Structure 1
Amino acid sequence: MTATRTPERTAPPARREARVLRRGLLWALGGAALVMSVAIAVTIGPADLSVADVGSAVSAHLFGGESGTSAIRDGIVWNLRMPRTVLAALCGAGLALCGAVMQSLLRNPLADPFVLGVSSGASTGAVAVVVLGVGGGAVSVSAGAFLGAVCSFGLVLLLSHTLGGTTDRVVLSGVAAMQLFSALTSFVVLTAADAEETRGVLFWLLGSLSGAGWQDVWPALAVLLLTLLVCGGHARTLDAFAFGQDAAASLGVTVARTRLVLLCVTALLTAVLVSVAGAIGFVGLVLPHIARALVGAAHGRLLPVTALTGAVFMVWADTLARTALAPQEVPVGVITSLVGVPAFVLVLYRGRGGRGAS
């Protein structure tokens, strides 16, 4: 594959070194902001904790030795708040990353991780387990959601391939799958006899990280790292896609294969995240636009900054969700939408006279 020419390759060495330095500084600041956000967010809640308590408990569990805090505080940090906060960061990073890839791959500034119908399929799988008892108790809600997401994505691939496999056919196939599985979900929920059961399903559908444990963190982390590696390796290819499929093909990109690989890894990550946290909206739509405003459209910079920005955003969104109306919890998807809609309007307002996200 012929690599696309980038400013870093053509710029003088001094300017190239300055750009690398600025990029490293930006990533270091983003990483520090994420670590501090996680540490501070864990301290927020009914129990009186400090950042020192958090550091002591985490250090004891990761490196051994005695924790410098009480057993109760240690349990609150390590078993309750830390896995939830880390999972929030992973969800934010993953959804934002998938959104950035989808917007570039489909050349659509309104694309998000759910454009392939994955969230609708996951919702159907979840309600089938909870309401209909599919699996006879042997299948968890997360497993049902993941299977539903995979079925939905498989349907999108089948439809788009049958219709010609072009970018617009992929989007239209995703819309069709989304509507189909949304209708199935609504039908199952409406037929549920137990009102409390229905309320629990609706809460999950709006996005919720309550009950998150380390068993949810590890698969999400593994798939996120895989997606970062794959998408990062295709950063120059994604730059080429910004000029259209024909331009990408003229630069030596195998369009169909590359698109299939990127669609599959982003759909897999979205399916895993939705299966453990529900459908959390607006993260994958808004955060890529904010990251582009910070670092530009070159994907070598855009993808990691988008992931870091999404992680920090979700940590604080989940913290607000669990504390704003304590002891009652607000679905985190409600918080992300309440914050995301004004942010997206602002992005549209600032870019009304400029170029699109593609």
Structure 2
Amino acid sequence: MRVAVAGLGYRMANVLKSFHKANDDLTIVGLVDPVPAGLEQVEQDGLKVGPRFESVDGMLKQVKPDLLTVGSPNALHLDHIRSGLQHGVKVFTEKPVVIDEQQTLEMARLLGEFGIDRVLVGLVLRYSDLYRDLRNAQAQGQIGNVVSIEASEHIAPYHGAFFMRDWRRYQQYAGPYILEKCCHDIDLYASVVGARASAVSSFGGRKSFVPDNAPAVMSNVEREQYYRKPSGWNSTEHVFDSDADIIDYQTALIEYETGATMAFHANLNVPNQFRRFCVIGAKGMAEGDFVRNNFAVHDAASGEKLVEKRYAGVEDDHYGADDQMAFDITRNLREGEPLPVGILDALEAGLTAIKIDEARRTRKTIELAEIWNGFDEALRMTPSGH
């Protein structure tokens, strides 16, 4: 597989490692990134990186890849994906696809012109064993119609400090925090409900990573915690007095078009981190935790435990899902096998997250019917539909 790379940070380096496992013949035929933080990692994994280019257009004019991978800062995704589409190349983009409502509509118009099958997306949790087992429990009728969901993504202080030091601390590059970090979760639970969000509200702010909480003298233990995760482009050493404009905790309420609801909680400073859910339906409930690797289903009428599982995945490879995603995408590229998530799913989850943060900033409940009408209108030229 011949791959051209737009943006080679630490995350894309991990993705390419998984693609290499699925493709012994993978070669990187071109790279666009003025400061490729993941370059050393990729070379250590046995991949040679081809020539460097100043622009994606310039690269694609000279190389003919099977796939363009987009791992650049989120604000650049739209332009880089557009280049790939215009050059007739299939594109894999990291999440979130775009950073705001305007970019979402522009991406929808591009998909209308070029087709939704031309862009693949790295919503990797859809490939996890835990998610597949949740969907299987639904298919077997063990949950019934979804009534309500309680879910969270709580990350450890070392990871929260990374966000305060990384380029992701700026919304102009990453979009709001709930978009950048939690669009996975918003996508997952929309797929479980089987409907779009119809209304959102939200509250949150920044209370942990603020100057008042900075240690007077940072101990070795604290330094190990707050600088454990490396940052690349546009990074800073500041943690508690960072110039970040993102928040570090947020609660969102979502109502779906079916009438089901979800309460979602994000926090960047949780020492015993977890990423769990409780999906409650008319016939039963399913509970799981991506970090603690457990899953259970209980029947509503009898209280009987119908399913209990544990998993072996770890956070660094998205609980085992990175390799599975690379394997499945390879089969899609070679054999046309369907994937569990598509670009429209990603855009819908992203737009929901964007409106959640708008609700937080404006302290309003936002009805989304008109938003979806505009989104669908932008897609009106899509040849394949959803």
Structure with the bigger RCO (C-alpha within 8 Å, sep 6+) is: 1
TM-score normalised per structure 1: 0.26
Give the structure with the larger helix fraction.
1
TM-score normalised per structure 2: 0.25
